[in-house]
Chains A and B, each alone.
Chain A
Amino acid sequence: MRQFLSYFTLLLAGSLLLTSCGLAPPAPVDEPETAAAGADAEKVIYLGAAVSETGKYSREGKDTRQGYGLWLDWVNNEYGGVQIDGERYRVELIMYDDEGDPDTAARLVEKLISEDQVDFLLGPYSSSLTQSTSAIAEKYGKIMIEGNGAAEPLFERGFRNLFAVLTPAGNYTRSALQLLAEQGAKSVVIAYEDTAFPTSVAEGAQRWAAEYGLEVLGVETYPVNVADVSGIMSKFKELEPDIFVGGGHFNDAVLFIRSAKELDFNPKAMVITVGPSNPTLIEEVGADAEYVIGPTQWEASMSYADDYLGTAAEYAARYQDMWGEPPTYQAAESTATALALHLAIEQAGSLDTDAVRTALRNLDVVTFYGPISFDEKGRNAAKPMGAIQIQNGEILVVAPTHAAVAELNYPAPAWKDR
């Protein structure tokens, strides 16, 4: 019996110890390397973000981190800190890796709010993680400003504390469809992955098609990780539309282009939501990516500029300098997210949540990323979506007109004639 008791005590003690370890906070990653010297006297703003470093969103998560990182480096080292009432505040950004997992993301945002006691939150990558984490922020009355969740349902919940600098998903195809309609396109077919973001894009596309007088001939959905879209493509081929709109993941862009060519489906324009604005697509798919049109939140060749990070091109150069690769639009919108918060704090002249929320609501600025001005739902209604087309292996902006650097090539020749 005594032996048993000692064993059991051991076991119990062990499990309690283990439990308490589990409750210990996970180690932070990517902590800013700002100097700690004289930290006592210094005024500091704490920002927090849970962004994927591993897991299914690791690629886009990296862009998001680097976008935030660029602003952080600039605001502390070059700009000299956020200015409130004549005083300079250094910024500390606490970032954790949410692994793309909702449980982990919830835990980390909870930790940022309740333990790290950050002043404001920056958003994670992906619409679905933004859905669940913004609910936590709303509950605690913390402002979450984000640049990587575009799905419309995010903004239909009446949240007061969620702000997004990116163009909402419904407007993704707007400038592309408008331009194509002007060029004489008459009809459109739409295929989209049935998750939140592509659905919003597709619903928006139908709205804009009606607006610009395009007839919608067919709408098809497909599930995540689909490996074959022959059914959709041969159906669309029969309909002989002018425009094909496809929305989903990067992988789907490859699949759409390959299947269209394989089945000799020849729309006069292919508009694909995610993929075309990423140079990897040209690298992998090669010449078949020519003429493909894609919406873009931002491109380095756009003509926007601000007094802080300069022109879009200067921003791109700075980014290249810091991270050794050109910025994707996910990176740019992340930087713009942080910049919008920065500007709102300076306008509010305080770190008070209510004051900053009001400042965000009233914000009306043009940045290197484009105009930023939030509507009553927290969306950036001011910013138009751009459109690019792949021409001779280059990604060139073709819309909106004031940012365009090339003429749209329309119609695209049939696969046989290329």
Chain B
Amino acid sequence: MTNGPPADKNGNETGKKARFPSLAPVHSLLAGWTGLALWLLLLLLLALYPYTGVSSLALLVGSQIFVLVTLASNWNLIGGMTGYVDFGHAVFFGVGAYIMAILVTGAPLLISPQWGFWQALPASGAAAALFALLIGLPTLRLKGPYFSIAMLGTLVAMREIVRVSRPITGGGIGLNLPPVLNRIGDYYLMLAIMGLVVSLIWWIQRSEFGQSLIAIREDEVGAEMRGINTTLHKIAAFMIAAFFTGVVGGFWAWQNTFIDPDGVFVETRTVEMVMMSMLGGLGTVWGPPLGAVAIYLLQNLLWSNLFEWHLLALGLLLVLIVLFMPEGILGTLGDRSSTSLGRLLARFGRNR
């Protein structure tokens, strides 16, 4: 199972690429301290952004983008770096959202007293991580598409389980959270979570842990033989990804003030995460955030210009992205001769 690791393509045959200089050196620099420094700088700028007197709408949009970036980065940890294509990752989002809603409303479970948001938020993540442990132990033994399908099944099964557990979850009716809206607070909270997650991914990628994950992706049997405890590594990566996805789910439930099974356990949310990671560059640190922003903009662009046709266009676009730039934006920029789009561009270049 190899999804072209674009992060460290150092074999740049420079002679061939006079016309299209490689970005590979950029990648290795970005993967290092420079990348982190620039990321922290960006975070600082984003933290100052509200001081420029922006509207609450801009803050809301900001927090929505941060949610997408965080989700894409989380998915990338298990799907991109470890190579386990999780097609049901939204299940952790849903678990987090429900734990948040149940704890803060207290109503269905009659938990008394009700929890505050700040206690419930880490609990959302912890519950999702625990769920990841339970579901991951059996499913992470599965290979290739079987893991993907098992996770997709988990997502749908959880949706139906939540639906029938009305005494605890409110069933299909959903749960109303207290309508406390704090746009500026949401913005900074999501900024902090996003900053933490992406920095964590940056750190993991440089650490021995991250190298082991990549080794598992490239050749799991080989990694095992080299003495890597693959089960432990996979479970750990899975739980970390689930934890933050759960936190984001809890945050989302709080911000949206209303959740129901069909609103949080959604297949399309998973596919969104996959699309964003893939468009940006699977297994890279900066690809998924870039992809998330790109998809968000693309969706808005399509939506405001094509109306009725925009989802059709989105579907076709997904097909085109997979066919022509499976290595993502970063990969395609980085090593043009080895990617479909790169070759296509190169051909056009020659024809002209």
Contact = CB atoms under 8 A, between A and B. Distances in A.
A149 B263 CA distance: 17
B55 interface: yes
A198 to B, nearest CB: 9
B122 interface: no
A244 B209 CA distance: 61
B297 A135 contact: no
B229 interface: no
Nearest to A197: B173
Interface string A55-90: 100100000000000000000000000000000000
Contacts of B260: 128, 195-196
B21 interface: yes
A110 B300 contact: no
Contacts of B173: 151, 153, 194-196, 199
Contact of A54 (B30, B55, B183, B311): B311
A223 B160 contact: yes
Q: Interface majority SS on B: helix, strand, loop or mixed?
A: helix
Contact of A22 (B30, B172, B293): B293
Interface stretch (A96-104, A180-188, A401-409): A96-104
Contact of B65 (A19, A55, A159): A19
B257 A132 contact: yes
A107 B310 CA distance: 18
Contacts of A221: 171-172
B176 A128 contact: no
B145 interface: no
Nearest to A196: B173
B304 interface: yes
Interface in A125-164: 128, 131-132, 135-136, 138-139, 151, 153, 156-157, 159
Contact of B258 (A25, A55, A132): A132
B65 A54 contact: no
Nearest to B171: A194
A55 B290 CA distance: 26
Given A4-B25, A107-B57, A196-B260, A153 B176 contact: yes
B43 interface: no
A358 interface: no
- B: interface residue count bin: 35 or more
B29 interface: yes
Given A54-B307, A54-B308, A135-B258, A23 B174 contact: no
B61 A107 contact: yes
B211 interface: no
Contact of A23 (B61, B257, B262): B61
Nearest to B62: A23
Nearest to A97: B307
A106 B21 contact: no
A323 interface: no
Contacts of A110: 56-57, 60, 183
Contacts of B305: 27
B68 to A, nearest CB: 10
A224 B290 contact: no
B12 interface: no
Contacts of B65: 19, 22
Interface string B159-183: 0100100100001111010011101
Interface of A: 3-4, 7-8, 12, 15, 18-19, 21-23, 25-27, 29, 53-55, 58, 97, 99, 102-103, 106-107, 110-111, 114-115, 128, 131-132, 135-136, 138-139, 151, 153, 156-157, 159, 193-196, 199, 221, 223-224
25 contacts: A4-B26, A7-B23, A18-B293, A22-B297, A22-B300, A23-B54, A55-B311, A97-B303, A103-B64, A106-B256, A110-B56, A110-B57, A110-B60, A111-B57, A114-B55, A114-B56, A128-B174, A138-B179, A151-B173, A193-B172, A194-B166, A196-B172, A196-B260, A221-B172, A223-B163
* Cβ-closest 5 pairs across A and B: A194-B172, A135-B179, A131-B258, A139-B181, A27-B304
Interface of B: 21, 23, 25-26, 29-30, 38, 42, 54-58, 60-62, 64-65, 160, 163, 166, 171-174, 176, 179-181, 183, 255-258, 260, 262-263, 290, 293-294, 296-297, 300, 303-305, 307-308, 310-311
Given A128-B174, A128-B263, A196-B172, 16 more contacts: A7-B23, A22-B300, A25-B57, A26-B303, A54-B310, A54-B311, A103-B64, A107-B57, A110-B60, A110-B183, A115-B57, A131-B174, A138-B179, A157-B176, A195-B174, A199-B171
